[in-house]
Structure 1
Amino acid sequence: MTKIIRTAIGLMSGTSMDGIDIALLRTDGENVVERGPSMGNQYEPAFRNRLKQALVDARDLTDRTARPGDLAAVERNLTLRHAVALSDFLYRHDVPPAKIDVIGFHGQTVLHRPDEALTVQLGDGALLAQVTGIPVVYDMRANDMVHGGQGAPLIPIYHAALAASAGHALPTVFVNIGGISNLTFIGRNGEIVAYDSGPGNTLIDQWVEMHTGAAYDHGGEIASTGQVLPILADRYLGNSFFSSNQRRSLDRNDFRPPEIGEAGLADGARTLAHVTAAAIVKSARHLPEPPARYVVCGGGRLNHVIMRDLSEFARSQNAAVIAAEEAGLDGDAMEAEAWAYLAVRSLRGLPLTFPGTTGVTAPVTGGILGMPEKSGLLRAD
């Protein structure tokens, strides 16, 4: 039977809220993975501030469809920004919109409470389909929660496809250091175990922004001049999240940055980088077997202090740490690629999540399909 290969675009706006990642992928939603071009599109500070306010406005939501206050306007603005970014991406890479079969649209998570089966992503998939003239799969987390899952992480099935297509030696552990860090273990027989491992960049980003107004610690430059404060580090690493045997998905606000005055800028950044790395290795104890190699993707791999600490901690367990690029992958585009891959799986009704990844009761698919009723602004009739 001939496999149908679809051309998909993934659009990802992560917990760091720094912009939109876009990637093109040709895939059957299973073992065929042909990675195409990718691009990052940064939010300007004013809109990023609106997204941060959206986190505050969403705190008391109990209905995931409600959009009180400015949330409705932010959602529409966010969606249209994705459409503009996509148009620019297609133009730059000379890809006709008519060649795109589907868009995988993540949106912006503003609330994630897995214990309450509640997750909220801003992003109007139906509007995006109308504007682009391209089918859009969106809201891919909710069905997992309906079936008892944590709603995250969703990327592990794509990690498994990457490992298979690239011929990586198994077992392999992928580490995604975004706002929140997560691990994906792929065993020798294709077993997938995945879960959030702790705070990623979010604490460092918030700390640096509080002190300097900058969005993040570029390359770990600030952290590299500081020292680890043991009392502060132990406070984070002593959190019950690490001692519990039950894995759960994290919200951006589950860990908060230190208060002003608890540390200087450099020492705070250095300590939080240490916490990010230590949390990954500390959480690895829940894996089926100790990993021999960590493949690191996400923005955190560009922080040299985090990577140095992670390498030192992993070495004590006889494990190696490499950036995604050393494995022939794109550490910046991987999440966007995953959303393209998941969109194709959703179209085919294939599972997106599994008991070993989100704790869902059985493998389930997910996502809502938004179909354009007209050609859209990007696609000619």
Structure 2
Amino acid sequence: MKTKGPIWALGAMSGTSLDGVDAAMLQTDGQRVFAFGDSVYQAYSDNEASVLRAALGHWPGEEGVAAAAEVTLSAHRNLLARFDGVDLVGFHGQTLTHDPRGKGTHQAGDGQALADALNRPVVWDFRSADVALGGEGAPLAPFYHFALAKWIGAREPLAFLNLGGVGNITWIEPKHERPEDDGALLAFDTGPANAPINDLLQTRLRQPFDKDGALAIRGTSDERIVARFLDHPYFLRIPPKSLDRDTFVGLLASVADLPDADAAATLTACAAGAVARGMEHCPSPPERVLVCGGGRRNPALMAELTKRLDRPVVPVETVGLDGDMLEAQAFAFLAVRVARGLPTSCPATTGVAANVGGGILSQPRP
């Protein structure tokens, strides 16, 4: 693998929505984006998703974790083996629990075993080093968001909003040269996004998510529940800050007495309201908000965001990016940074004590 200049990296991401694995190629030197390559999505089977869901909140050695790790490794191995011309792999794994101020963070999946199976170098365990140095360990995409802001030629402050199971935002001042420069970035988790909505649909209707926001659009949000949700102390915490998927586990119970459509509308309003509260922490109002992740395909959620943020809120496709694969691309980008000794997080993105390059580089064994 070259130590200078652009290379082709393959990134993989399996998020807290537990829907499947995204994999995407990116040509980068770890500082700039040169080209986007092939990408593939592979959904988890019902059985695979069930195994992963049963292990949520569990730590290594606890019940269900070994099975979840095997599902994670198998799904990634089968998908990533389909790509050619790969110099380096970035493997995030499947987050089962995240407690940076307590036990730490846990992503299932053995990167060394994946390197052996693919016969390619793999960077993995991206979050542990950040947490060990006092950081939140999340979000980790902001350095890539900064590179994308440069790629699209942004001149004014803007924000990337990722709406996965949990929402996270990256505020960017593109006038800076490097993402670790003071004032270049601010990043943090905004609050629950798709996860509670998905859980509601799965529990009540045996559907994986609210396709096209169809259920929420038919309902009316209960603003008393939304207001109580937004009173949670998390929203007053100064960022950087991060969440586990189950930090707001009581949110689903709060809509238990509402009809299906009203419950979906209420959870959708909560997700948008959390983003609006988060925006209050940005150093200056972003000119626009570029949305990636599955939430951007939910018209009900996008309409709520537009109403509550009072500024342009548009999918990242409007600037030529792929909102489905942006997180996978991010871990390709970060893998190259790890391999070349560059930081992957800084005090403004995770609250870590100093700039840190997280991740383990595993070479394939004979």
Give the number of equivalent residue pairs: 355
When structure 1 is superposed on structure 2, of 164-173 and 351-360 the one drifting more is 164-173
Residue matched to 2:286: 291
Which secondary structure state, in structure 1, belongs to the residue aligned with residue 139 of structure 2? coil
Which residue of 111, 114, 123 maps to 1:125? 111
For the Cα contact (< 8 Å) 1:173–1:183, is it kept in 2?
yes
Alpha-carbon offset, residue 215 of structure 1 = 0.8
For the Cα contact (< 8 Å) 2:197–2:264, is it kept in 1?
yes
When structure 1 is superposed on structure 2, of 257-266 and 104-113 the one drifting more is 257-266
Alpha-carbon distance in structure 1 between the residues aligned to 2:233 and 2:323: 30
Alpha-carbon offset, residue 247 of structure 1 = 4.2
Query: For 1:311-359, what per-residue CA distance to the aligned partner results, in whole angstroms no more than 9, with x for missing partners?
Result: 11222xxx21111101111100000000000000000010000110000
Residue matched to 2:179: none
Structure 2 length normalisation: TM-score? Answer: 0.94
Alpha-carbon distance in structure 1 between the residues aligned to 2:152 and 2:239: 32
One-letter code of the match for 2:243? L
Residue matched to 2:26: 25
Alpha-carbon offset, residue 365 of structure 1 = 0.3
Query: For 1:49-84, what per-residue CA distance to the aligned partner results, in whole angstroms no more than 9, with x for missing partners?
Result: 11010115x0xx4xxxx3333312321232021110
Which residue of 140, 148, 154 maps to 1:154? 140
One-letter code of the match for 2:46? P
Which residue of 300, 303, 309 maps to 1:314? 309
Root mean square deviation of aligned Cα = 1.4
Alpha-carbon distance in structure 1 between the residues aligned to 2:142 and 2:252: 31
Alpha-carbon offset, residue 246 of structure 1 = 4.9
Alpha-carbon distance in structure 2 between the residues aligned to 1:206 and 1:261: 12
Which residue of 258, 267, 272 maps to 1:263? 258
For the Cα contact (< 8 Å) 1:117–1:146, is it kept in 2?
no
Is 2:177 aligned against 1:177? no
Alpha-carbon distance in structure 2 between the residues aligned to 1:202 and 1:72: 23
Residue matched to 2:232: 239
Query: Measured at CA, do residues 229 and 14 of structure 1 come closer, stay the same or move farther in structure 2, by a change above 3 Å?
Result: same
Residue matched to 1:87: 81
Alpha-carbon distance in structure 1 between the residues aligned to 2:279 and 2:103: 25
The residue correspondences of 1:53-202 to structure 2 (distance < 5 A) are 53-56=54-57, 58=58, 61=59, 66-88=60-82, 90=83, 95=84, 99-116=85-102, 118-190=104-176, 191-202=184-195
Query: For 1:187-240, what per-residue CA distance to the aligned partner results, in whole angstroms no more than 9, with x for missing partners?
Result: 143311111111110110111111011111011011010001112211211111
For the Cα contact (< 8 Å) 2:133–2:353, is it kept in 1?
yes
When structure 1 is superposed on structure 2, of 120-129 and 233-242 the one drifting more is 233-242
Which secondary structure state, in structure 1, belongs to the residue aligned with residue 101 of structure 2? helix
Alpha-carbon distance in structure 2 between the residues aligned to 1:338 and 1:33: 13
Residue matched to 1:379: none
One-letter code of the match for 2:286? P
One-letter code of the match for 2:159? V
Alpha-carbon distance in structure 2 between the residues aligned to 1:115 and 1:185: 24
Structure 1 length normalisation: TM-score? Answer: 0.90
Is 2:333 aligned against 1:338? no
For the Cα contact (< 8 Å) 1:117–1:145, is it kept in 2?
no
Residue matched to 2:198: 205
Query: Measured at CA, do residues 311 and 212 of structure 1 come closer, stay the same or move farther in structure 2, by a change above 3 Å?
Result: same
Alpha-carbon offset, residue 258 of structure 1 = 2.4
For the Cα contact (< 8 Å) 1:175–1:297, is it kept in 2?
yes
Alpha-carbon distance in structure 1 between the residues aligned to 2:290 and 2:185: 15
One-letter code of the match for 1:165? W
Alpha-carbon distance in structure 2 between the residues aligned to 1:261 and 1:346: 45
Alpha-carbon distance in structure 2 between the residues aligned to 1:193 and 1:22: 26
Residue matched to 1:272: 267
For the Cα contact (< 8 Å) 1:114–1:248, is it kept in 2?
no
One-letter code of the match for 2:69? E
Alpha-carbon distance in structure 2 between the residues aligned to 1:310 and 1:124: 38
Alpha-carbon offset, residue 108 of structure 1 = 0.4
Query: Measured at CA, do residues 323 and 69 of structure 1 come closer, stay the same or move farther in structure 2, by a change above 3 Å?
Result: same
Residue matched to 1:38: 39
Alpha-carbon distance in structure 2 between the residues aligned to 1:313 and 1:7: 40
Which secondary structure state, in structure 2, belongs to the residue aligned with residue 183 of structure 1? strand
For the Cα contact (< 8 Å) 1:346–1:365, is it kept in 2?
yes
Is 2:209 aligned against 1:216? yes
Which secondary structure state, in structure 1, belongs to the residue aligned with residue 280 of structure 2? helix
Alpha-carbon distance in structure 1 between the residues aligned to 2:224 and 2:156: 38
Alpha-carbon offset, residue 264 of structure 1 = 1.1
Residue matched to 1:367: 359
